[in-house]
A and B are shown apart, each in its own frame.
Chain A
Amino acid sequence: MVHKLPSVDVVLVGFGWTGAIMAQELTEEGLEVLALERGSWRDTGTDFAPSFIQDELRYRYHGHLFEETAQETLTFRNTPDQTALPMRRLGSFLPGTGVGGSILHWNGQAWRFLPYDFQIRSQTVARYGNAAVSQDMMLQDWGITYDELEPYYMRWEELCGIAGQAGNVNGQKQPGGNPFEGPRSKPYPTPPMKQTYGPTLFGQAAASLGLHPFPCPSGNMSQAYTNPLGVTLAPCTYCGFCEKFGCGNYSKASAQTTILPVLMRKKNFTVRTESEVTRVNVDAFGKHATGVTYVDAQGNEFEQPADLVIVCAYATHNVHLLMSSGIGKIYDPSTGQGTLGKNYCYQLTPSVDLFFDDKLLNPFVGAGALGVIVDDWNGDNFDHTSLGFIHGGYIAGYMTTGRPIETELLPEGTPKWGAKWKKAFVENYLKSMSVSLMGAVMPDKSNHLDLDPTYRDVYGRPLMRMTYDFKQNELKMQDFAMGKMVEIAHAMKPREIKKSARGPRYDIEPYQSTHNTGGAIMGASPADSVINRYLQHWDVPNLFVVGASAFPHNSGYNPTGTVSALALWAADAIRRQYLKHPGPLVHA
């Protein structure tokens, strides 16, 4: 039996980072906002206090802050000719659950995408001709420009106190920053983090090669910071437990440290935890969302009507929820029909490990966004003529952690276990680091999401099926970037290096990044996108879908900044336009 509840103005599906942004913005309009969150309430003092959070086994290996596959997972295969099998354990990516969502356990690497990204198809064709975009590459412009999004990037950085060195303020190049970044309206709100030895060596080597090193923009605080909402974050203490952990020190930007202290004082906001939305309900014509159906921890089913439905769960779950709700047509790679599930992308993250004889790097003195970067081979920052690929990625000398189960860098030829393994691990632990690539992934015709024909979740819904593999563009880009990484690595003068490439097949087991994108993408036309430039569903105007699911491709940067800017942009469109005239904000 479904219990029907009284209606609310706005219901949010998921109460992670984008949920917190939407709630904060829409409650400002006096709307009554209800967030439905499948996980539990989470707070710094109770859930990730510095008296017990530095526990690699519990959080990294037993995934204490992550979603459980028993509750939600997907099936995976590399290519359509294979049979997809369930992801029974998390591996390659680590979605969160509970209040605060995945940003709770992010590293804090706080990037903007390039102006090129938002107009990638038109700019690629303009510079290199039609032939640069292969037939299988479903490259498309985003329907929004960097300049339009810039004020929202700025708001995000100010909300989170991002620490960094600007490289381009209103077109003026700034020394020490990223000369390739899009023009910023203001510098970063806080100065960059102080670098430890490893990133410093990387920066010196990159500069000696004529490259343009700069400190990684950081959601770990370089100093105490009070954001525009009046919430204060504390300076980062470099404990090295960021990604996969909550910050016990209020030093990492998250919903808990930037928005919740203000939002939770508002009488027109409620979050209901242990409540998993299983369906967005639409009227008989499929043109109006009537609310959502959710299930509590006991299995009781509730119908929650709402005037406005905002789906802001993790990227893959946004797509799954639309599919489970029968909203939109699921993409079929064999016919090219349908838009829901297409342009699923990920990232490619090869690295070069460096081993020194004479330098103690103390990897445990780390922070999630502690590092020096070169952006010379990202986006269209360099000439791709006759390279055979487009885009690229940033190359980083990070020193994020020395957690000893996970941080195992071993020279070439080291046995995987036994006395020689032990000797090599002990000898190199304090004196090794990695240079890594955050490689972009372009949309491919056969990489997509749909529903699995066999496997079902605990609610009896078909699991979502992921079909994904690295394609020629990524593999060629990896070869190119590997050459550049090796060059920088040698310039750092280590005893030896080891190349660690990804692929050629994508493997869902080893951790790579929680940077899943696409599947419910934004665009200029309902013919090739699910949502319009304001993240509003083309078919159902009172439904918005917020998150990295909106990305038509994945860039060579961590996605959180762009996820956040898009959420703020969509919230602004709802506040300024939609509430005055509910209906489509873009006419197809």
Chain B
Amino acid sequence: MKPKKVSRREFLAASATAAAAAGAGAIGTTPAFSRDVHGGDKDPWLPHQADAPHPLQAPDYKFFTPEEAAFIEAATERLIPDDAVGPGAKACGVALFIDHQLAGAYGRAQGWYMQGPWSKGEETQGYQSRLTPSALYRAAIKAIEDHVASSHSATPFAGLAPDEQDAIISDLEKGKLDLGGVDAKTFFKMLWLNTKEGMFSDPIYGGNKDMAGWKMLGFPGARYNYLDWVDRHGQRYDQPPVGIRGRPEWNGEG
């Protein structure tokens, strides 16, 4: 096996030029939706292409109806309540965070394998619902409110006493509540993870307001250099947290 001449590589290089010009490449005479990066041709780095995150644009609900928003605000506040330890889910904007997640790629199950057939499966087989997260929330909230309406004197869920709300959440967690076609445990797991995400993810996504979740824990946020702290064993880190967008007071929000 001997190395071939470079002529073919030059042929392929020509297609890269077409690719750069058209946004889609051409391999031979065929339009190709791929990109050729040739060794030695040019820097493969693309200017102005940083894969930056997409922050929350406006602090209003995009997915939940007002009734659904009231449910989520009440339920997440029971999951992480406001108390002497620190602010709760409501003060940290968790419901708004979840709303925007459900309105976006996550809510649509974008990138997930969603082909059938569908079966509940074993506990060890992972998420098996046909419902996307947004559809699961919508269906579960409705089923829970229906349950509240049929079993409690006060409605909706948000109007119940905290211990009544806790009992319902506990039943969800244990899978005791029959939500019709929606698996209560699956919904609880998703709600709880999304609540923690809203509490402790970067504030650009609408939760963790004023980095209150991070401050409560002592997590310094999106820092990238702790070299000075490696051998300061047992000492309390003394810098306030920063987010991807810096600190609120740096951009007039604090």
A-side residues, CB < 8 A to B, are 3, 5-9, 27, 29-32, 34, 40-41, 43, 45-47, 49-52, 54-58, 61-64, 68-71, 73, 76-78, 82-83, 85-89, 91, 194-197, 200, 235, 237-241, 248-249, 263-275, 296-298, 300, 302, 307-308, 359-360, 362, 364-365, 402-405, 408, 416-419, 421-423, 425-426, 429-430, 454-456, 505-509, 578-579, 582
Contact = CB atoms under 8 A, between A and B. Distances in A.
B57 interface: no
Contacts of A62: 105-106
A582 B33 CA distance: 34
A200 B233 contact: yes
Given A41-B35, A272-B35, A426-B86, A32 B226 contact: no
B219 to A, nearest CB: 5
Interface residues of B, number: 90
Contact of B38 (A47, A73, A91, A267): A267
Nearest to B48: A46
Which 6 A-B residue pairs are closest in the complex by CB-CB distance? A68-B111, A298-B33, A269-B39, A57-B201, A54-B222, A197-B233
Contacts of B4: 7-9, 32
A588 B106 CA distance: 51
Contacts of A455: 115
28 contacts: A3-B30, A8-B8, A34-B12, A43-B46, A46-B45, A46-B46, A55-B222, A57-B205, A61-B197, A69-B113, A78-B124, A86-B113, A88-B127, A195-B230, A196-B231, A238-B226, A248-B224, A267-B38, A268-B9, A364-B219, A417-B79, A418-B79, A419-B83, A423-B85, A426-B85, A509-B127, A579-B1, A582-B1
Given A32-B6, A248-B224, A297-B33, A5 B27 contact: yes
A270 B106 CA distance: 34
Given A61-B197, A237-B226, A274 B6 contact: no
A85 B128 contact: yes
Contacts of B230: 194-196, 238, 365
Contacts of B193: 61
B218 A68 contact: no
A64 B160 CA distance: 39
Given A69-B112, A195-B230, A426-B217, 9 more contacts: A9-B4, A62-B105, A88-B114, A360-B234, A362-B235, A405-B200, A507-B126, A508-B126, A579-B1
Nearest to A40: B35
Contacts, number: 280
B85 A422 contact: yes
B22 interface: no
Contacts of A41: 35, 37, 44, 46
Nearest to A195: B230
Contacts of A47: 50-51
Contacts of B38: 267, 269-270
Interface string B212-250: 011011111111111101110111110000001000000
Q: Is the interface of A mostly helix, strand, loop or mixed?
A: loop
A273 B31 CA distance: 14
B197 A57 contact: yes
B217 A308 contact: no
A307 B1 contact: yes
Nearest to B105: A62
Nearest to B29: A3
Contact of A9 (B3, B33, B196): B3
Nearest to A358: B234
Given A425-B217, A507-B124, A85 B9 contact: no
B224 A270 contact: no
Nearest to A509: B126
A58 B1 CA distance: 46
A54 B39 CA distance: 31
A78 B115 contact: no
B201 to A, nearest CB: 4
B202 A55 contact: yes
Contact of A73 (B40, B46, B113, B117): B113
Given A57-B197, A88-B113, A426-B86, A404 B126 contact: no
B81 interface: yes
A298 B24 CA distance: 10
Contacts of B229: 196, 238, 362, 365
B80 interface: yes
B44 A264 contact: yes
Task: Name the residue among A82, A248, A272 with the largest chain B CB count within 10 angstroms.
Answer: A272
B251 to A, nearest CB: 15
B146 to A, nearest CB: 23
B192 interface: yes
B126 A273 contact: no
B34 to A, nearest CB: 4
Nearest to B47: A46
Interface of B: 1, 3-4, 6, 8-9, 11-12, 24, 27-28, 30-41, 44-46, 49-53, 78-81, 83, 85-86, 105-106, 110-115, 117, 119, 121-128, 166, 169, 173, 192-193, 196-197, 200-202, 205, 213-214, 216-227, 229-231, 233-237, 244
Contacts of B33: 274, 296-298, 300
A430 B37 contact: no
Contacts of B225: 237-239
Given A50-B224, A273-B34, A426 B233 contact: no
Nearest to A423: B85
B222 A197 contact: no
Given A86-B115, A423-B85, A425-B217, A78 B224 contact: no
A403 B196 CA distance: 12
B3 A31 contact: yes
Given A68-B111, A88-B127, A417-B79, A360 B196 contact: no
B124 A70 contact: no
Given A197-B233, A506-B124, A270 B36 contact: yes
B219 A402 contact: yes
Contacts of A64: 51
B233 A196 contact: yes
A268 B39 contact: yes
Given A77-B125, A239-B225, A359 B36 contact: no
Nearest to B115: A455
Given A85-B119, A297-B34, A405 B224 contact: no
A416 B173 contact: yes
Contacts of B233: 196-197, 200
A210 B112 CA distance: 49
Contacts of A425: 217
Contacts of B125: 76-77, 85, 508
Nearest to A427: B85
Contact of B224 (A239, A272, A416, A430): A239
A47 B219 CA distance: 24
B30 A43 contact: no
Task: Name the residue among A54, A69, A88 with the largest chain B CB count within 10 angstroms.
Answer: A88
A249 B8 CA distance: 37
Contacts of A275: 34
